[in-house]
Structure 1
Amino acid sequence: MRPSHLFLGVLVAAVWGVNFTVIEIGLDHFPPLLFSALRFLAAALPAVFLVGRPKVAWKWIVAVGLVLGVAKFGLVFAGMDAGMPAGLSSLVLQIQAVFTAVIAAAVLGERPSRVRVLGMLVALAGIGVAAVDEGSSGPLGAFAMVVGAAAAWGVSNVLTRKASPPDALNFMVWVSTVPVLPLLGLSLLTEGASRDLAALRGLDWQGAGALLFVAWVSTVFGFGAWGWLLRRHPASTVAPFSLLVPVFGMSSAALFLGEPVTGLRWCAAVLLVGGVALASLTPRRRATRRDAASCVPPVRDVESPGQRDETSRMLTS
């Protein structure tokens, strides 16, 4: 990989990590569900008029839009608004790799190797340590929301795998159109029209900047750059950059928001990132002699473990 490509991979990870700090700033200006709805609206327009028609069936666009956009991001924004720290959120969301593997095993029949199972157990231990750390200083309900968001992300990863979009950017833009109205409706029901209108009327440069960052820099630029790298390098080469996201997330939150990084939190980070690395980056087993000798040709593995999550991972920010 060229130095410029290495820099781009690190830059995308930095953008996605810092994005959690920007979300925290944006939540000071918007109710969480309204903020999430506006984020997807800004990401979809005007890009939806530039990327062409959808290249997968609408059922996949709607399904991923509802699960990823409404459930996952609605829970993330609500959890952070309820007190979940930005840095810890960037870390806990990485447990999506475990949810993805478990759901894929149940739905798609993908059997994880022993090393991947070990990685999932290590990552779960990291979540346990993070829960202990958060339970001693913050609301566990907010922590549970972010864990629930990671579970929704795992479901969306499996749906995206089933959809197999040939153009990831086209898919992401059309997926972004789906959550806007449901999130706006939920915002009106739970957050209230008066609160939403007050946020829009009081919009200042800081709130607008946070909104544009999460929509254009984190989503459009981050997704586009990640897809560009994946078109030029194997997914196994590109995927490890995503493990830097919680590093940048925790560091930026400590630097700009003054969030403390306790010893328990660093321990949780080591366990979770290490476990996710084992679960996500371990190559699949090679075909056995019995497979090679059978009359049925083996199914080609079109996606590596890292590439399986690429579309949803790009929307973490």
Structure 2
Amino acid sequence: MPSRRSAAFTALFAAALFGATTPLAKALLGSLSPFLLAGLFYVGSGVGLGVVILARRLAPRAAVQQRERHRFPLRDLPWLAGAIAAGGVAGPALLMLGLNTTPAATGSLLLNLEGVFTALIAWLVFRENVDVQVFLGMVAIVAGGVALSWQPGAAGLPPGALLLAGACACWAIDNNLTRKVSAHDATFIACLKGLVAGPVNVALAFAVGASWPHGTHAWSVALAMLTGFAGYGVSLVLFVVALRNLGSARTGAYFSVAPLFGVTLSWLLWPELPTLQFWIAAALMALGVWLHVRERHEHPHTHEALDHTHRHRHDAHHQHEHDFAWDGEEPHTHPHHHAPVTHAHAHFPDIHHRHTH
């Protein structure tokens, strides 16, 4: 089981990669429509991760236990299908419809709702544990996002506001449903999301009048797919790993700092002095991350019997025998059984600690 700090770093790295796509997208919008660009980001994610999976399977050491990680159980397909439908199809569609009638400043503020909705669904529907410190950390991070995107004079809610809120709700549902399957191979999950969401979003782009770039603008397709591979693909793989180790609410909170990374990269590409607004947002987000990292949740708890497959080491939660020849290499992946056990130690809502309180 990774340490709290390494799990938090995974989520923050995912946020950094995703946040970096915003200024890069700005540079590409001169040759691609927003709808087509979003679709190409997803396509680049799915295709790029597909190549990674293929290379991994063809590697000389791709033994039986290595291939096991790609065997996605049928019982979990509804969770993954729901996540793809909500986050990869409905979410982007509502976003694009909402942005048509919503000022950019108001839209930026409303998109902070994703982290809030993710936490609320995790806490109220899936009963993920929360204490005062984690709640205050979430509030600080969301406040930082509001401070970063706030623009005076952008008062009132336009008609598209409900559509943007709906998009955030879809992504929050996606985050919580993906958490249900996060024990499985993160690369496979992210690849499938990209391969489904990509064509759907490209089709939506052409449906509203987008055209394929030609001539000197053709190179932008490859750049968009490459950006999508890193900002949507690799980022999503890390996000799924963070969900596995931290749960939905905490991962969503860390991921909410993505705009801070985007603004920072934007100023590096187009030099500009940081404003007071930026430093206030950075301080609030740093406070929120600090509150989350220093959280200590410890009490006696019982692990029910569990069978699943994921990458693991033989730590306190993985004391099992192997029914195959094992060369002693760790971490490794194979189906394994957890016997019931009751003990007490510091933990957070990872895939082994999803108990009620």
- Partner of residue 31, structure 1: 33
TM-score by length of 1: 0.66
Output the CA distance in 2 between the equivalents of 1:143 and 1:260: 31
Counterpart selection for 1:55 from 65, 72, 78 = 72
> 1:214/1:174 Cα in 2 relative to 1: closer, same or farther (>3 Å)?
same
TM-aligned CA deviation for residue 202 of structure 1? 5.3
Give the stretch that moved more between structures: 68-77 or 32-41.
Answer: 68-77
1:54 is displaced (CA, Å) by: 5.8
User: Equivalents in 2 of 1:94, 1:83: separation in Å?
Assistant: 15
CA distance in 2, matches of 1:123, 1:255: 23
The structure carrying a bigger strand percent of its residues is: 2
Q: What whole-Å deviation, never above 9, does each CA across 1:26-74 have from its counterpart, x for those lacking one?
A: 2222222222222222322264474585614432332222222234455
Alignment match, 1:248: 261
Which residue is 1:175 aligned to? 193
Q: Which runs of 5+ in 2 are unaligned?
A: 55-66, 303-339, 353-357
1:116 and 2:134 matched = yes
Displacement of 1:249: 1.5
Change (3 A) 1:33 1:122: same
Q: Which has the higher contact order (CA 8 A, sep 6+)?
A: 1
Cα distance in 1 between the residues matched to 2:351 and 2:23: 26
Match of 1:311 in 2: none
Match of 2:230 in 1: 217
CA–CA separation in structure 2 for the residues paired with 1:22 and 1:78: 22
* Partner Cα separation in structure 1 for residue 71 and residue 103 of structure 2: 37
> Who is 2:47 aligned against?
45
Secondary structure (helix, strand or coil) at the match of 1:109 reads coil
Q: Return the alpha-carbon distance in structure 1 between the equivalents of residues 136 and 81 of structure 2.
A: 34
Flag the structure with larger Rg: 2
Q: Give yes or no for contact 1:235–1:304 (8 Å, CA) kept in 2.
A: yes
Return closer, same or farther for 1:218/1:117 CA change in 2, 3 Å cut-off: closer
The structural deviation recorded for 1:171 is 0.9
- Give percent identity, aligned residues only: 22
Deviation sequence 1:170-209 (CA, Å, 0-9, x none)? 11101212213432343244x22xxx22x43356265235
Check 1:17–1:71 CA distance in 2 against 1; reply closer, same or farther (3 A cut). same
2:182 to 145, 164, 177: 164
Report the counterpart of residue 173 of structure 2 in structure 1.
155
Bigger shift: residues 114-123 or 41-50 = 41-50
Instruction: Report the structure, 1 or 2, having the larger helix content.
Output: 1
Deviation at 1:113, TM superposition (A): 0.5
Q: Which amino acid aligns with 1:55?
A: F
| Match 1:208 to one of 198, 221, 225 | 221
1:257-296 deviations in Å (ceiling 9; x for gaps): 4677432243133224433553x545463225xx57xxx9
Matches within 5 A, 1:64-79: 64-73=83-92
The alignment partner of 1:108 has SS state of coil
Q: Is the 8 A contact 1:36 1:77 kept in 2?
A: no
The aligned residue for residue 118 of structure 2 is 100
Over aligned residues, Cα RMSD in angstroms? 4.8
Residue in structure 2 matching 1:287, options 299, 303, 322: 299
**1:202-225 per-position Cα deviation (integer Å, ceiling 9, x unaligned):** 56265235313322233444556x
Q: How many residues align?
A: 284
CA shift, 1:116, in A, is: 1.6
Equivalents in 2 of 1:24, 1:78: separation in Å?
A: 19
For residues 67-112 of structure 1, give each alpha carbon's deviation from its aligned partner in whole angstroms, at most 9, with x where no partner exists.
2223445566778897648xx96x9867644332211112112231
Instruction: Pick closer, same or farther for the CA change 1:145–1:228 going to 2, 3 Å.
Output: closer
1:134 aligns with 2:151: yes
3-state DSSP of counterpart to 2:39: helix
Structure 1: tracts of 5 or more residues without a match: 309-317
Give the letter aligned to residue 42 of structure 2: F
With the length of structure 2 as denominator, give the TM-score of the two structures: 0.60
- Call closer, same or farther: CA 1:134–1:179 in 2, change over 3 Å: same
Q: CA deviation at 1:158?
A: 0.7
